[in-house]
Amino acid sequence: MASERSDFTFPGSRASRAEQGLTRWLTRYSVDVLRVSLGSIFLAFGALKFVPGLSPAEPLVVETLEILTLGLVPEGVGIIVVASLETTIGVLLVTGRWLRVAMVLMVAALAGILSPLVLLPEVMFQSLPGSPTLAGQYVLKDIVLAAAALVIGARAFGARMVVAETHRGRAKEDPFS
């Protein structure tokens, strides 16, 4: 198979050692980099919502909240709740504190963030089926945020990434299968 490491490097070679070092670094730090990146996004986007008219997502948030709360929550209160939720998630992710709490909050936030796909299809998609509007693209990219949250959640709840043991440059077993 062309993607096997042994096809590109020789065991014990400088390239093989560099690859092993990179693999160890990625194993140790990649989830933390992902966590801080995701937290920064939530923190920044949440902070924008505290200032009326500053967030380009505000009209979509208002319309979605109107549907989800059956109009019972005033617009201003709803935006503050969403802003508070997103900034709290952001702070928890960036600091690495109370990650399990952050993951629970993230489930609620992502449910709300992705709900316009179901609740507002006329806003999310143009008349051509499968052709998202700018608002639709904004929401669809959040699927990647949800996937990142899954990885961070796995770590928060105890999963660990490990480097496969090697024998002559080949993995003895694939820890991901």
What is the total count of domains within the chain? 1
Range of the domain at 92: 18-163
pTM value > 0.85: no
Instruction: For residue 112, tell me if it sits in a domain.
Output: yes
CA distance 125 to 136: 6
Instruction: For residue 63, tell me if it sits in a domain.
Output: yes
Instruction: For residue 49, tell me if it sits in a domain.
Output: yes
Predicted local distance difference test score (pLDDT) of residue 159: 85
Instruction: For residue 5, tell me if it sits in a domain.
Output: no
Instruction: For residue 2, tell me if it sits in a domain.
Output: no
Average pLDDT value for residue range 131-151: 92
Q: What angle do CA 90, 157, 91 make, to 5 degrees?
A: 10
Residue 167 pairs in a beta bridge with: 170
Instruction: For residue 172, tell me if it sits in a domain.
Output: no
Instruction: For residue 1, tell me if it sits in a domain.
Output: no
pLDDT band at 64, cuts 50/70/90?
Answer: very high
pLDDT band at 102, cuts 50/70/90?
Answer: very high
Instruction: For residue 44, tell me if it sits in a domain.
Output: yes
**How high does pLDDT run on average in the chain?**
86
